[in-house]
């Protein structure tokens, strides 16, 4: 029975059907899950067992063609089988509602990270303005996530933290958690949001004490530490360009970047333009201004999301893709 129970309540290392617990709230969520599961299993077995027993015991057989006379009511029995399930259901509601409120009420001193869902990438913005493709957090620190979407509904999901919330364009939703041990945990998107939905992955990286501050310092200064083309390659990978634009000539939602810079680009409507610095800058800030022939006008604007220095770095990177 101990083994069976551990399936539903689960140690921190994960178990038969739940991933490992990476946050303080995870254990509580699992306890409710275990309780609901075992209550359901108990009544399922009880009802099926009684049903089978009665079917066999009161079956029709020679000499017992008619139903036996039986009482029409048994008030104490009826009150019992009504009251017990009501009490259990009320307990599940109160317990579940309490945990729901806990998950949705961040402590006042929580460290805030902005989460943006876009086709097809999660972006995490830190208080100093650094934007990253992964969620980095310090261990044992309450983290508040303020989340929104740039385009369609995405579903933010970290199974190890038992956190899941839809992000909707035009509004902000909040979640919070406190990671219990350093490590890397998978983040998924759980709303079907288009072609790249199943690639909309990110990592939650929980740092040792002190490690988060070092990482943030290091990550924020990459523009100063790298050449513009190197920084541009990094931005290409981390800001959502790579989801739609290949660099090796492969097709995608958007045109490939391979050998694009300096060449003629055929545009929707029959015209053409040369892919120079100004064209690339315009396509990043006003993607609908010039649509490449054969592609849909689906790219979101990066106005306000990429600094001038970053746009320049991306342009320098595109120049290297011969
Ligand atoms: Cu975003 Cu699915």
pLDDT score recorded for residue 13: 55
CB of residue 189 inside a 6 A radius of ligand 1: yes
242 C-alpha vs ligand 1 centroid, how far in Å? 16
CB of residue 117 inside a 6 A radius of ligand 1: yes
Asked if 139 and 180 touch (Cβ cutoff 8 Å), the reply is yes
Measure the CA–CA gap between 274 and 290, rounded to whole angstroms: 11
pLDDT score recorded for residue 92: 94
pLDDT score recorded for residue 7: 45
pLDDT of residue 14 exceeding 70 = no
Q: What is the pLDDT of residues 193-231, one digit of tens each?
A: 988 899 899 999 999 988 999 888 888 887 777 888 888
Give the closest residue (by CA) to ligand 1 atom 1. 154
121 C-alpha vs ligand 1 centroid, how far in Å? 8
| pLDDT band of 191, cuts 50, 70, 90 | very high
- Helix (H) or strand (E) holding 114, with range, is strand 111-118
- Determine the longest span between alpha carbons in the chain, in angstroms: 97
Q: What is the pLDDT of residues 97-152, one digit of tens each?
A: 999 888 888 888 899 999 999 888 899 999 988 888 899 999 989 999 999 998 89
50 C-alpha vs ligand 1 centroid, how far in Å? 46
CB of residue 152 inside a 6 A radius of ligand 1: no
Question: What is the position in ligand 1's atom list of the atom closest to the CA of 190?
Answer: 2
Q: Which pTM was predicted?
A: 0.69
Asked if 206 and 130 touch (Cβ cutoff 8 Å), the reply is no
| pLDDT band of 46, cuts 50, 70, 90 | very high
Question: What is the position in ligand 1's atom list of the atom closest to the CA of 120?
Answer: 1
117 C-alpha vs ligand 1 centroid, how far in Å? 8
Going from the C-alpha of 234 to that of each of 161, 170, 243, 316, the distances in angstroms are 28, 28, 13, 12
- Helix (H) or strand (E) holding 39, with range, is helix 24-57
Going from the C-alpha of 201 to that of each of 84, 120, 189, the distances in angstroms are 44, 9, 7
pLDDT of residue 5 exceeding 50 = no
Measure the CA–CA gap between 283 and 308, rounded to whole angstroms: 13
Q: What angle do CA 28, 177, 125 make, to 5 degrees?
A: 160
CB of residue 197 inside a 6 A radius of ligand 1: yes
216 C-alpha vs ligand 1 centroid, how far in Å? 26
193 C-alpha vs ligand 1 centroid, how far in Å? 4
């Amino acid at each position: 029975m101990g083994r069976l129970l551990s399936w539903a309540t689960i140690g921190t290392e994960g178990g038969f059907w739940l991933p490992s617990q990476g946050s303080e709230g995870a254990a509580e969520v699992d306890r409710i899950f275990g309780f609901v599961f075992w209550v359901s299993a108990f009544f399922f077995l009880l009802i099926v067992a009684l049903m089978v027993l009665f079917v066999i015991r009161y079956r029709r057989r020679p000499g017992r063609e008619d139903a036996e006379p039986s009482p029409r009511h048994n008030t104490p029995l009826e009150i019992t089988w009504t009251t017990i399930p009501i009490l259990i259901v009320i307990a599940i509601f109160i317990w579940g509602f309490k945990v729901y409120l806990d998950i949705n009420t961040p402590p006042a001193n929580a460290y805030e990270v902005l989460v943006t869902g876009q086709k097809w990438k999660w972006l995490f913005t830190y208080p100093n303005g650094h934007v990253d493709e992964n969620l980095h957090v310090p261990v044992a620190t309450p983290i508040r996530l303020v989340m929104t979407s740039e385009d369609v509904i995405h579903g933010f999901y970290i199974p190890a933290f038992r956190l899941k919330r839809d992000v909707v364009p035009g509004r902000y939703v909040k979640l919070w958690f406190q990671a219990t041990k350093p490590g890397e945990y998978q983040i998924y998107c759980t709303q079907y949001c288009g072609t790249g939905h199943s690639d909309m992955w990110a990592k939650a990286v929980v740092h040792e004490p002190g490690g988060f501050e070092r990482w943030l310092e290091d990550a924020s200064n990459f523009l100063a530490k790298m050449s513009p083309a190197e920084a541009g390659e990094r931005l290409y990978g981390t800001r959502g360009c790579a989801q739609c634009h290949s660099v090796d000539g492969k097709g995608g939602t958007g045109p490939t970047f391979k050998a694009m810079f300096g060449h003629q680009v055929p545009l929707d409507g029959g015209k053409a333009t040369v892919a120079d610095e100004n064209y690339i800058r315009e396509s990043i800030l006003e993607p609908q201004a010039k649509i490449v022939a054969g592609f849909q006008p689906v790219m979101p604007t990066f106005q306000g999301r990429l600094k001038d220095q970053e746009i320049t770095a991306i342009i320098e990177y595109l120049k290297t893709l011969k």
